[in-house]
């Protein structure tokens, strides 16, 4: 069963750009983020496959300085924004966990929070 939750307005995202979100109860929230790049949206669980940390040291700051890759602020792992594949740093070959993402009729970016519960 899907549980689509609104994350942000598509019009509020830069291309390339990223936006973090949390959803759910205080004890066990889902932390995730969306990346908008090349006109495509991708959504990922905000948990680094290296040591399980959240990727953003500062809120919503998920991208490298040139905005071409996702970067974990803890130990510098970098990931392709469209595949989630780690291409540098301490966990090459590992992957971020993808979340289903869509844009609703009102132009809001929505993520299926239920998909994360399988992980
Ligand atoms: S926890 Fe992300 S690189 Fe170590």
Please write the tens of the pLDDT for every residue from 3-37.
Answer: 999 999 999 999 999 999 999 877 778 999 999 99
Tokens for 66, please give them: 């040139």
> Is there a contact between 51 and 73 (Cβ–Cβ < 8 Å)?
no
**Alpha carbon nearest to ligand 1 atom 4, residue:** 75
Residue closest to 51 by CA, chosen among 17, 21, 86, 18? 86
Place of tokens 């994350």: 7
Q: Which positions of the chain have pLDDT values less than 50?
A: none
In 53-102, where does DSSP find H-type helix? Answer: none
> What total of structural domains would you count in the chain?
1
Q: Cα of 87 to ligand 1 centre, how many Å?
A: 13
Closest C-alpha to ligand 1, atom 1: 51
CATH code, domain with 95: 2.102.10.10
pLDDT value of residue 26:
73
pTM of the model: 0.94
**Ligand 1 contact, 64 CB (< 6 A):** no
Cβ(60) – ligand 1 distance below 6 Å? no
Binding site membership of 78 for ligand 1 (Cβ less than 6 Å): no
CB of 90 closer than 6 angstroms to any ligand 1 atom: yes
Domain that holds residue 28: 4-118
> 42 with 111: CB under 8 angstroms?
no
Q: Residue 9: what are its φ and ψ, rounded to 5°? A: -85, 135
């Amino acid at each position: 069963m899907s549980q689509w939750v609104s994350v942000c307005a598509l019009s509020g995202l830069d291309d390339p750009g990223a936006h973090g979100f949390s959803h759910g109860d205080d004890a066990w929230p889902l932390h995730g983020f969306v990346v908008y790049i090349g006109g495509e949206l991708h959504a990922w669980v905000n948990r680094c496959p290296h040591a399980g940390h959240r990727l953003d040291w500062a809120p919503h700051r998920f991208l490298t300085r040139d905005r071409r890759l996702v970067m974990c602020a803890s130990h510098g792992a970098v990931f392709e924004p469209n595949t989630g594949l780690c291409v540098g740093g301490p966990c090459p070959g590992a992957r971020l966990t993808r979340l289903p993402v869509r844009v609703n009729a009102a132009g809001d970016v929505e993520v299926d929070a239920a998909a994360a519960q399988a992980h």
